Amino acid sequence: MNEVLKNMMTRRSIRSYTDRQISEEDLNTILSAAINAPSGMNLQTWHFTAITNAEILNRTNKSIKAAFTRSTDSRLQERGHNENYCCYYHAPTLIIVSNDPTQWWAPMDCACALENIFLAATSLGIGSCWINQLGQTCDDPEVRSLLTELGIPSSHKVYGCAALGYASPESCIKEKKLQEHTISIIR
């Protein structure tokens, strides 16, 4: 199996990280992989915001948790009131991927970019996990204010985030099992 396929087959979500920050060089490589993902008509309407500042990461988590407490969903309310809940699993880096929602391809472009982020991270020995909470809360006024402060265009919706860091030794990595009836081949 070639290295690209091996990378794809071995990548798993990591939900427990060490405090060790990824290098600036590795972060730039990962961001370069993101911007080289397919983009509808090559318009590249996306935006990538990388956060490595622990204080800003904590503020982001607090904003999301506050939005959750205002939700009508009891599961989100529970997370919002949980002192230990951290939507990005305490990863030292978070990349926010946003796009202009008026572009019909915005979600697909962001999904392709996130996959490139995950595969690039894996190839560098860096763990990753797709984070959805900012996408769920980006229209909350408190969260939107923070996103604007971070330089995310006010016209953008967050379609996903990537938590990045080095897997902690006690990280539980699940074995991937193919679900039945997932693939159909028509000849």
- Nearest CA among 10, 17, 156, 29 for reference residue 93: 17
Give CA–CA dist 11/129, Å, rounded.
10
Residue 180's pLDDT is 86
Would you state the structure tokens that stand for residue 78, as one six-digit string?
Answer: 């529970």
Residue 2's Cβ-count burial label (10 Å; 0-12, 13-18, 19+) is exposed
- Under the banding of pLDDT at 50, 70 and 90, the label for residue 176 is confident
pTM: 0.94
Count of other CB atoms within 10 angstroms of residue 40: 16
Residue 159's pLDDT is 98
C-alpha distance across the termini of the chain, in Å: 25
Summarised one tens digit per residue, pLDDT across range 36-62 is 999 988 889 999 999 999 999 999 999
Structural contact between residues 159 and 37, judged by C-beta atoms closer than 8 angstroms: no
Residue 154's pLDDT is 94
